[in-house]
Amino acid sequence: DGDTVTVWYTVTGVKSASTLYNVMHSGDDISDTVPVAVEATGNNGTLLQQVDYYKLASLTIKIPVYRGMVSGDTVTVYWIGRDYTYDSDTITVSAIGEIDVLVPRMEFIDTIGDTAFVYFSVKKNGVGDEISSSILYLDIEGQSLELKSPDVSDDLQTVTVIYSGMSSSDRVKVRVVGASINETSVQQGNDSNIIIFSIDRSWLEKDERSNLLYNYAVGVSGGEYQFSRVTRISAT
């Protein structure tokens, strides 16, 4: 009947992926349209390199002009990372043309050393079923350190950072992202491989109704920082 069917599947040991099957050509079929990661400079736009993401506040995903695009359509970008799927705010098309959607920094930082599946969906005139684009398979360049996510206490105030290979020349700091951003002061590494940080209680009280994302950065021997995976705390 000219519809595009989206099939979700899971392979053991591999994250869920979306495969688009075009049952029959449709005027609204966008399964041949691929979003673009604007700041990704490696491998013809399929690799977000360390130099790309090091200071990047957000990653721009460009939605191209797709078949059948009209004012009143609504579009949403989906970022399927290592363990979490981020979906952007829904945008209403106001004029036919490319649309830029921002993916927050914590999402691509959490996917370092892995591959994100990025696609967009469309609702024609803002109603009905979603029509899905093709997937951009975006590799996020890895780092020399394997930095797992930090441990966060039940009161959200104590953050424990543990990683192998820590030394006294390392410089470590924690970032927490909610409605605003809080960064701790820098602490020196040590031979125990463990550092404990305290998050300002007054800041937490201001952001207590927000989802909180915790991670840390390690400057090895005074060099450039490397970034950990993210611990996510849902709002209560």
Give pTM, 2 decimals. Answer: 0.87
Q: Across the strands, what pairs with 63?
A: 99
Distance separating alpha carbons of residues 223 and 221, to the nearest angstrom:
5
**Fold equal for 4-140 and 151-233:** yes
Number of neighbours of residue 90 by Cβ within 10 angstroms: 13
Are 37 and 60 in contact by the 8 Å Cβ rule? The answer is yes
**CATH number of the 151-233 domain:** 2.60.40
Are 61 and 118 in contact by the 8 Å Cβ rule? The answer is yes
**CATH number of the 4-140 domain:** 2.60.40.10
What residue spans define the domains of the chain? 4-140, 151-233
pLDDT digits (tens, 9 = 90+) for 8-22: 444 444 454 444 433
pLDDT digits (tens, 9 = 90+) for 73-112: 999 999 999 999 999 999 999 999 999 999 999 999 999 9
Nearest-CA neighbor of 77 among 141, 3, 138, 15? 138
